[in-house]
Amino acid sequence: MTISVRFAPSPTGRLHVGNIRLALVNWLFARKAGGSFLLRLDDTDDERSTPEFAEAIEADLSWLGLGWDRRARQSDRLQRYSEAAESLKAAGRLYPCYETADELGLKRKSLLARSLPPLYDRAALRLTAEDRARHEAEGRRPHWRFKLDHAPVAWTDLVRGPAHFEGAALSDPVLIREDGRPLYTLSSVVDDIDFAISHVIRGEDHVANTAVQIQLWQALGGTVPGFAHLPLLTDAGGQGLSKRLGSLSVSALRDEEGLEPMALLSLLARLGTADAIEPVRSLEALIAGFDMTRVSRATPKFDAEELKRLNARLLHEMPFAEAAPRMEALGFAGANERFWRTVRPNLGRFAEVAEWWQITHAPVTPAAPDPGFIAAAAALLPPEPWSEATWGVWVERIKAETGVKGKALFLPLRLALTGREHGPELKNLLPLIGRNRALARLSGTVA
């Protein structure tokens, strides 16, 4: 079988981490099998879909490295959906209904009040030609429902295992709105047939849709694909995610938090599996380690703090060859490997490189909580050339001369030299600062 999957977001908001998890699992599933990944924009909602959101979706996927082999927009395929609807009408599987939203609401309430499932009663199938003409004359326009077979529907889900629905327990779904627009149930199946999608991997909120859509695939003469329904991601507090509310959007993690794409992918690839969450440096390694059978039915929780820890670990392991062009792009063309190895253990975000470049190469306002001690230390500053051993030599001289040691020695020196209470090891940082700049700061001068 040729593996072909799709990620089908609606461009009605910013992608959040739950959307990206589904995109990633689809992408990894395809790449592991040497298959194809389709990006399909479900953009038929004229009121909420925008070109800006569509562009943002592509930008988010590109930033993450989740490239697509094919691309489609449902707004370009409306004629194809009309053709499919006409074929269903001709086969007697699509029938017009004239109830208003209020009338359907009353039917639903009545059924629920009697503890009955709110299934459509197929009243429209009993309308005569005269009834339909009367409704049309009143200005009513029909919506169109798909007539389900009241037969069992079953499949073996790649995540959930055996799934079974009784056809009689399902309600005939609306496929065409009163304004003639196709709904997701129809357009999605038509697309999956036309693009030869072999596996539909989506959220578990679509399980009931799948029971309906399997009959629709069959009615349209398509090959029913395989299915995998993943449990939906929640935030750390167990709340569901929403594009409309901007929950944990990818753009915010990138543009505001400054996080690494591989940190996000490393976390999302392992969430909801039995595998330990570890930083992974490349997409190739993610592909090699991917196994759909490892995905659990338990609800995974996305912890932003865990993402930040992964991000820091990736930076702490990042080789200079990877960091160098990024530092150059930030304007630090003189940043060498010694500088990178010195500062990277203290980075939580790559942009924090700028702080340590400033401290080692630009003026810093020193702090001297104990001027007398700092002055004594300055007088003992060794001559250049300096190396990593210089710090140890200097500290021993200070201890011998002043009797000060421990935190009372190290913290004032760090504050005087960097203006910070924490940072890289001073034995590595001191040679980068240089003697002239260090002496000026110890003397209380901005240097």
User: Per mean pLDDT, which range of 97-111, 236-250, 404-418 is the poorest?
Assistant: 236-250
The pLDDT-based confidence of 246 (bands split at 50, 70, 90) is low
Torsions phi, psi of 402, nearest 5? -110, -20
Amino acid identity at 82: S
The tens digit of pLDDT for each residue in 334-379 reads 899 999 999 999 999 999 999 999 999 999 888 877 889 999 999 9
Give me the pLDDT at residue 366, please.
81
What does the alpha-carbon distance between residue 316 and residue 73 come to, in Å, rounded to a whole number? 41
What average pLDDT is seen over the chain?
94
What does the alpha-carbon distance between residue 95 and residue 88 come to, in Å, rounded to a whole number? 9
The pLDDT-based confidence of 310 (bands split at 50, 70, 90) is very high
- Report which secondary-structure segment, H or E, holds 28: helix 17-32
At residue 35, does pLDDT exceed 90?
A: yes
* 18, 232 Cβ separation under 8 angstroms: yes
What contacts 433, CB < 8 A, 6 or more positions away?
Answer: 359, 360, 417, 418, 441
The pLDDT-based confidence of 445 (bands split at 50, 70, 90) is confident
Q: What mean pLDDT is predicted for residues 247-276?
A: 94
The tens digit of pLDDT for each residue in 70-94 reads 999 999 999 999 999 999 999 999 9
Mind listing the domains of the chain with CATH numbers? 1-93+149-317 (3.40.50.620), 99-141 (no CATH), 320-360 (no CATH), 371-442 (1.10.10.350)
Give me the pLDDT at residue 245, please.
58
- Nearest alpha-carbon partner for 7 in 57, 82, 77: 57
Amino acid identity at 235: D
392, with CB counted inside 10 A (0-12, 13-18, 19+), is: exposed
The pLDDT-based confidence of 316 (bands split at 50, 70, 90) is very high
Torsions phi, psi of 342, nearest 5? -75, -40
**For 124, left (φ over 0), alpha (ψ -120 to 50), or beta?**
alpha
- Nearest alpha-carbon partner for 182 in 77, 72, 99: 77
Burial string for 38-74 (b: 16+ CB within 10 Å, else e) reads bbbbbbbeeeebeeebbebbeebbeebebebeeebeb
Q: Give 367's DSSP letter.
A: -
The pLDDT-based confidence of 243 (bands split at 50, 70, 90) is low
The tens digit of pLDDT for each residue in 145-193 reads 999 999 999 999 999 999 999 989 999 999 999 999 999 999 999 999 9
* 198, 169 Cβ separation under 8 angstroms: no
Give me the pLDDT at residue 211, please.
94
